[in-house]
Amino acid sequence: MPLTGTSTNYSYQNRTTRDSDEHAEALKDWNQIYDQLSPGSFEGKVVDLRFKGLQIFRETTNRAVSQNGSSWNGCFVVGIPVAMKNTGLFAKQVLTRDSMLTFRSDQEFSLTTPEGFDVVAVAIPEASLLEAMNPDSHDQLRHIFPKSPTVMVAEPHLIDELRNCLLSIFDPANFEPTLLRHPQVQRAMSSAIIGHLAEVLNSSSHAPLPTRSFKGRCHVVKDATSYALSNTTEPITVADLCQKLNISRRMLNYCFQEVLETNPVHYLRSLRLNGVRRELRQPLPAGTQIRDIAGKWGFWHLPRFAAEYRALFGELPSDTARNCRH
């Protein structure tokens, strides 16, 4: 059960999730879709704190996940990985523990994270950040707010200081959320966060560009996944992707293996299985059976479908439907 607290001037939630869709819904006012990519039961956690227009949150996921969406209006988001078993992919760029992901609310982002991903982030109104940084030129303004979602790097000790500042908020030994009922606490905490954020952004730069060959493979994967995600109601095949991208099956497979450490067949199947699960978690129309939903998503061999579903999510389709009715 989620642990929540609300007041007229702050809100707090500490929520454990058992499903990628449930996890996506945990961040209120965000528009997101999460698709689970690696097999096994999903476990996640979202701790979310909001006050004085700021949102500070930490989220963990145990499975590889594909995320797509946008944040609440008018904010700028900076996320810093805490732990990750492998590199991630953010907007066609490699994300490591020593880098930051940044984007504006009017920019849709795409993020593929490995298993064991842990990230802490802050979403701040753009006006508040500009006031703190006081940019003196249009060039600096463009640097602070890039035109598209971007991976940034900065002095390691500055990233560590911002990461540790945000993490300390979620450490019960250091902080009790009910203290935020005091305006003085809100002002002090807001000042500390914005100060660290302004310092790290002022010293930041775009992450080093990958080699041309790897960058090209990232583009192939991004174009392939974007096409697949925009046509989820159709059973997109590897042949469809090859034709759309004018690329050989061998090269497509190579790109997926290097960038996402999976193959396109597994990726496309995972998207379709996530689509089935998303529907099973909703009330089924009268007379609709699981096989009807499976067929809608292009699964015709029902025993194989059930086995693949169980391998990815750790439960049978009937278990999902039953659990969501209670």
Q: Are residues 318 and 288 in the same domain?
A: yes
Residue where a domain terminates, one of 206, 226, 248 = 206
- Does residue 305 register a pLDDT over 60? yes
Q: Are residues 235 and 201 in the same domain?
A: no
Total number of domains constituting the chain: 2
pLDDT at 283: 86
Q: Are residues 134 and 158 in the same domain?
A: yes
Q: How confident is the model at residue 258 (pLDDT cuts 50, 70, 90)?
A: confident
- Does residue 244 register a pLDDT over 60? yes
CATH, residue 300: 1.10.10.60
Percentage helix, strand, coil for the chain under 3-state DSSP, each rounded to 5: 45, 25, 30
Q: Are residues 162 and 248 in the same domain?
A: no
pLDDT of 213-226, one tens digit each?
777 888 888 888 88
Q: Are residues 165 and 259 in the same domain?
A: no
Task: Dump strand ranges (E) for 65-168.
Answer: 65-70, 75-83, 88-90, 93-95, 100-104, 109-113, 117-125, 150-153
What's the domain range around 233?
Answer: 212-325
Q: Are 44 and 73 in contact (CB under 8 A)?
A: no
Q: Are residues 150 and 217 in the same domain?
A: no
Q: Are residues 86 and 167 in the same domain?
A: yes
pLDDT at 308: 96
Q: Are residues 145 and 283 in the same domain?
A: no
CATH, residue 143: 2.60.120.10
Q: Are residues 160 and 249 in the same domain?
A: no
Q: Are residues 171 and 279 in the same domain?
A: no
Residue where a domain terminates, one of 206, 235, 261 = 206
**Beta strands 65-70; 100-104: pairing state:** unpaired
Q: How confident is the model at residue 286 (pLDDT cuts 50, 70, 90)?
A: confident
Mean pLDDT (whole number) for 129-150: 72
* 107: Cβ contacts below 8 Å, ≥ 6 apart: 70, 148, 149
Q: Are residues 319 and 260 in the same domain?
A: yes
Q: How confident is the model at residue 1 (pLDDT cuts 50, 70, 90)?
A: very low
Q: Are residues 86 and 52 in the same domain?
A: yes
Q: How confident is the model at residue 142 (pLDDT cuts 50, 70, 90)?
A: low
Identify which has the larger pLDDT, 164 or 226: 164
